[in-house]
Amino acid sequence: MDVPALRALYNYTVGLGAKPAPSMLIAFHKPYGVLSQFTPDGSPNRPLAEFGFPKNVYPIGRLDADSEGLLLLSDEREWNARLLEPRHAHEREYWVQVERIPDAKDLEQLAIGVLVQGRMTLPCRAWLPEPQPQVPPRNPPIRFRKNVPDCWIVLELVEGKNRQVRRMTASIGHPTLRLLRARIGGLTLGDLPPGHWKILTPEGRKLAAGD
């Protein structure tokens, strides 16, 4: 073996020639019935460990098992503070399918703030999108009542307390039937299929950060 080959073997063996693994930010379309954690919790819900993520990544924030949509994972811990601390007012957009059709007064009340578990929610944006989002049916399907109409509303929040969206819509008399997070910062879920993930490009990272 010649000298360059020996030097390359030495560098490989002791790690002198190894480059640090690049940090990553991952966008995942979390399906219904999937936990925002890698370990099982004893329920029928599936953990993140079943989706083949790279090692050493962890979820940034969470979506409840019965919620769907955009979940970010990373091996960079600074994303937690950047995306989750309320002082940064980082936007998150939710598509919420609710029972009955909220009127303008209902939506205004959501936008101003409602009382949830003893505290007022922060001001947000709330609107009835036209046209309505075209979202594929969920498996299992939502609760259906023949004589009760439903619709999608959009909420843009800068906070994310436990089950907050569901409690907000319940407080105005419109229970949530289905909940999907469609955007974090400027990063949208787009056409990423349920159960699939992708490593974000530098442009995608800027969008997620809201830069």
- Note whether 137 and 122 are same-domain residues: yes
- The most confident of the ranges 12-21, 167-176, 202-211 is 167-176
Q: What percent of the chain has pLDDT over 90?
A: 76
Predicted TM-score (pTM) above 0.85:
yes
Instruction: Decide if 8 is inside a domain.
Output: no
Q: Give pLDDT, residue 21.
A: 57
pLDDT at 11 over 60: no
Task: Assess whether pLDDT exceeds 80 at residue 7.
Answer: no
| Catalytic residue IDs | 64
193 and 175 housed in the same domain: no
Q: Is residue 123 part of a domain?
A: yes
Q: Are residues 132 and 170 in the same domain?
A: yes
Q: Please write the tens of the pLDDT for every residue from 91-114.
A: 999 999 999 999 999 999 999 999
Per the structure, the complete domain to which residue 26 belongs is given by 20-87+187-211
- Looking at residue 3, what is its pLDDT? 43
Q: Quick one: 99 and 180 in the same domain?
A: yes
Are residues 169 and 100 part of one domain? yes
Taking only the tens place, the pLDDT of each residue in 153-203 is: 999 999 888 899 999 999 999 999 999 999 999 999 999 999 999 999 999
Asked, for residue 200, whether it belongs to a domain, the answer is: yes
Q: What is the domain count for the chain?
A: 2
The neighbouring-strand residues paired with 60 are: 72
Residue 111 lies in a domain: yes
Residues 172 and 95 in one domain: yes
- What is the CATH classification number for the domain harbouring 60? 3.30.70.580
pLDDT band at 22 (very low <50, low <70, confident <90, very high): low
Same domain, 153 and 202: no
Q: Is residue 2 part of a domain?
A: no
Say yes or no to pLDDT of 1 above 80.
no
Residues 118, 192 within the same domain:
no
| Residues 110, 169 within the same domain | yes
